[in-house]
Amino acid sequence: MLGIEPKAVRATWSALVTVGFFAFLYYTRRTILVFLLAVFFAYLLWPVVSRVDRFARGRISRALSLAMVYTALIAALGGVAAAVGSRASEEAANLVARMPDLLQSAGRLSKAPAPPWLEPVRGQVLEAIQEQVAAGLESALPMLRAAMKQVIGAIGNLGFAVLVPILSFFFLKDAAELRQQALSLVNRAEEGFVEGLLDDVHRMLAQYIRALFLLSMATFLAYLLFFQLAGVPYAALLATIAAVLEFIPVIGPLTAGTAACVVALVSGYGHVGSMIVFLLLYRLLQDYVLQPFLLGSGLKLHPLLIVFGALAGEQLAGIAGMIFSVPVLATLRIVYIRAARAAS
């Protein structure tokens, strides 16, 4: 009657709903982050919890066995984190306190090995490096302090310190019920599609999170062992940073390796070349042995897509966006493949 095409109305309505949905995701991203962390933590504990639950089934209630295992695992993880974190925090405080003096000491940098062709201009290069590092440190220290305050505030926040473990407990306890409720929301014709989709996403997340945790622990142990044996200063701090940054795809390991070499260089360590060789060999070992063994056929994501996802995730949600970029991309890939199969 008004001369408006029904197709145009439906298209406009669909566009508005889509925009509203993404706006909702953006403005509730912090709440969504808490739930994603809870899911991450639940998948991390799920292998041990499921095995104990199968062993204790019929002897005690599932809720009680889950609570016992959950409490023991959290206590163990907290104890290990406190033991490692205390030593790493001491080394970090020592490094920050000594950094200005280390940068002002040209003699330390002059001991670093250099190729023969660089020797004629070694003094000029060292002077330029010192100026650039000092300038970067001057601007980086305030940012580092602000970032540490944010991290400490986030850790002390009720949502991270209390809500995440509580939500993880309910995800573990009521996983089967939540699955059935999700399936009940779709009609019979789509139930098979949704059920297969949930199974694929579940297997992918379980495999990926387990592999990521094991790779992080392997990185920590390998770095700590080598740095201790090689006499690298601040070994516990550098190993801890490398283990944490292992959760950030591509960019994290590169940043950790660069930071370790820079810290060793300004601290006067005379065998930075051996560190670089170790870092390259370990990266090859992880990329071509450990990752294929833990991930099987892998997530089948192109490296360029992983880099794009990490950068886009950082713009949308900071560090958390980088961490969750790979599972989000893998989930979208699973949805696309399932939808294409259903359409054909």
What's the pLDDT at 44?
A: 86
Q: How many other CB atoms are there within 10 angstroms of residue 77's CB atom?
A: 13
What's the pLDDT at 106?
A: 47
pLDDT 10s digits, 45-78 = 888 878 877 777 767 777 777 788 878 887 887 7
pLDDT top residue among 130 and 305: 305
**Which residues are bridge partners to 3 per DSSP?**
none
Residue 83: pLDDT band with limits 50, 70, 90: confident
Residues 169 and 45 sit within 8 Å (Cβ to Cβ): no
pLDDT 10s digits, 161-183 = 678 888 888 888 888 888 888 88
For 57, phi then psi, to 5°, come to -65, 130
**Which residues are bridge partners to 60 per DSSP?**
57
DSSP type of residue 68: H
Given a cut of 50, is residue 1 above it in pLDDT? no
User: ∠ CA(292), CA(206), CA(181), 5° rounding?
Assistant: 150
Question: CA torsion angle for 83, 85, 89, 91 (degrees, to 10)?
Answer: 70
The CA-atom distances, in angstroms, between 241 and each of 216, 219, 244, 253, 258 are 10, 10, 5, 9, 11
pLDDT 10s digits, 279-327 = 999 999 998 888 888 876 667 788 888 889 988 988 887 788 888 899 9
Measured between alpha carbons, how far is 282 from 276 in angstroms, rounded to an integer?
Answer: 10
The CA-atom distances, in angstroms, between 285 and each of 146, 175, 264, 282, 313 are 36, 36, 23, 5, 27
Indicate the length of the chain as a whole number: 344
Residue 199: what residue type?
A: D
- The three-state secondary structure class of 60 is strand
Alpha helices in the chain (DSSP H): 6-27, 29-56, 62-104, 106-110, 122-156, 158, 164-173, 175-184, 188-230, 235-245, 251-266, 272-285, 291-295, 303-323, 325-343
> What does the domain layout of the chain look like in residue ranges?
30-173, 189-344
Residue in this structure with the two tokens 């994501």, named with its chain if needed: 301
What's the pLDDT at 274?
A: 92
- For a pLDDT cut of 70, what percent of the chain falls above it? 78
Region of poorest pLDDT, from 1-10, 151-160, 214-223, 289-298: 151-160
